[in-house]
């Protein structure tokens, strides 16, 4: 159900619950705007073990589930923003990122930040189109 502002709150148990006053994603008539996802395992709410690769893989898996709950998907992502705690992790993050976006990748910005929630090494957010076959 859409709010009076024309937005729909998106939520799924397949991704970590919000750890603050925000929604996992907001869906509008044509777009999905996700909150940043860190490498939290939704079952344990703990950071994935194994360093930047494991955290990136979990963050992108979380994004995938949020997008699917919004009637979208990774293939409809038009823009991502990647926050890295250490830019020296760029190549390792990028290798995992390529697994999720092997062809026609979205536009992307990557920035280094001083710190991320729960001591995460990476956080990723995105903007995506809705699937043309969505189940409104």
What is the dihedral sign for C-alpha 93, 87, 106, 24?
A: positive
Q: Taking the CB of residue 26, how many other CB atoms lie within 10 A of it?
A: 18
Where along the chain do its domains lie?
8-129
Condensed to tens digits (0 to 9), the pLDDT of residues 6-61 reads 899 999 999 999 888 999 999 999 999 999 999 999 999 999 999 999 999 999 99
What CATH code would you report for 8-129? 3.30.1330.40
For the chain, give the number of residues: 136
Instruction: Give the model's pLDDT for residue 5.
Output: 75
pTM for this model (two decimals): 0.94
Instruction: Give the model's pLDDT for residue 134.
Output: 67
Condensed to tens digits (0 to 9), the pLDDT of residues 78-135 reads 999 999 999 999 999 999 999 999 999 999 999 999 999 999 999 999 999 998 886 6
Distance between CA atoms of residues 44 and 59, nearest Å:
14
Closest Cα partner for 40 from 70, 20, 10, 69? Answer: 20
């Amino acid at each position: 159900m859409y709010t009076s502002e024309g937005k729909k709150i998106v939520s799924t148990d397949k991704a970590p619950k919000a750890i603050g006053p925000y929604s996992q994603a907001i869906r509008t008539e044509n777009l999905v705007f996700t909150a940043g996802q860190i490498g939290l395992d939704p079952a344990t709410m703990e950071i994935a073990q194994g360093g930047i690769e494991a955290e990136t893989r979990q963050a992108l898996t979380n994004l995938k589930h949020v997008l699917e709950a919004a009637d979208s998907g990774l293939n409809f992502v038009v823009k991502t923003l990647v926050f890295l705690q250490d830019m020296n992790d760029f190549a390792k993050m990028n290798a995992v990122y390529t697994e999720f976006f092997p062809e026609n990748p979205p536009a992307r910005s990557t920035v280094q930040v001083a710190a991320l929630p729960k001591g995460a090494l990476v956080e990723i957010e995105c903007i995506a189109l809705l699937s043309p076959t969505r189940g409104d």
